Amino acid sequence: MKTRTLGKTDLEIVPLIFGGNVFGWTADEAKSFEILDALVDRGVNCIDTANVYSAWVPGNKGGESETIIGKWLARGGKRDKIVLLTKVGNPMKDGGKGLSKKYILEEVEQSLTRLQTDYIDLYQSHKDDAETPLEETLSAYEELIKQGKVRFVGASNYTGARLAEAIELGEAKKLPVYKTLQPEYNLYDRKAYEQDLAPVAAKYGVGVIPYFSLASGFLTGKYQSLEDAKGAGREGLVKKYFDDRGAKILKALKQVSEETGAEQAAISLAWLLAQPTVTAPIASATSTKQLEALVASVALTLSDAQVKTLTDASAY
């Protein structure tokens, strides 16, 4: 299976990243293990999670996803086959948050313990922290890299200006530089990324790994109406997509699906992979059947005409 380098790192990944937010949420431990085994069997080698996953679930406090991944890694001895991504900074149930040096150094130990590993391949700032100087955050990462606990660092939910500032500061001060960016980006949610972040990613060679790649399931085509989403309990997540533009996107996806024989989820991810700044999309599944469509995107190459059909239909 083809691979891509994750930004300016030596991390080689199959260009599909599995989103571990479902572990401990819509996938219990047994189902999570099944999905993780299936991922490796199909050649997918990159998993993204965060310390906060899945604190939004009643009864959870955060760390559930990392804990499940850690148990799976310990059980299967597959750490050397996995490129492991996690994040720090979003508010936890215990009130902890932000990107201060003290907090990062405390939280990384918690993540390492839950993940049952002694290093994280890519440690990401989950959300920009305006109250902490960028230099302080990067100096924390410098310490962790020197200790061998973190290999590379990335950013998520930064503006273009702040990302550029962080990269230029890191280069000037000889501190770690963000190698990746994790933004919201998909066929529907294009404008913010393409206008603000894509130019920065291109300028500095940042590897882009979009989240919400399938727009909370809307782009899979399984919800043809808001009524469909209501029945699946997803109305709140996908309601904004059911407008004229959303309808044009679904129509274009159906057309390309008929031309290629591929599922709409695979086509949506393949469109992202065709974008010049994107390294690999992040997508989740709660069954091995759903996983097949995600994996199919890696081998799917859309024609220039098909990419244009989708790009034109989703124009903003």
Distances (CA, A) of 120 to 24, 156, 268, 272, 313: 20, 16, 29, 26, 39
Q: Please state whether beta strands 83-88 and 180-182 pair in parallel, antiparallel, or not at all (unpaired).
A: unpaired
Nearest CA among 31, 125, 20, 26 for reference residue 69: 20
Nearest CA among 43, 46, 57, 136 for reference residue 89: 136
Counts for the chain of helices (H) and strands (E), in that order: 13, 10
Residue 141 annotated among the catalytic residues of the structure: no
Give me the helix-helix angle, 288-299 and 264-273, nearest 10°. Answer: 40
Q: How far apart are CA 206 and CA 211, in angstroms?
A: 15
If 0-12 CB within 10 Å is exposed, 13-18 middle and 19+ buried, where does residue 307 land? Answer: middle
- Asked if residues 110 and 51 have their Cβ atoms less than 8 Å apart, the reply is yes
305 contact partners, CB below 8 Å, separation of at least 6? none
Residues labelled as active-site residues: 53
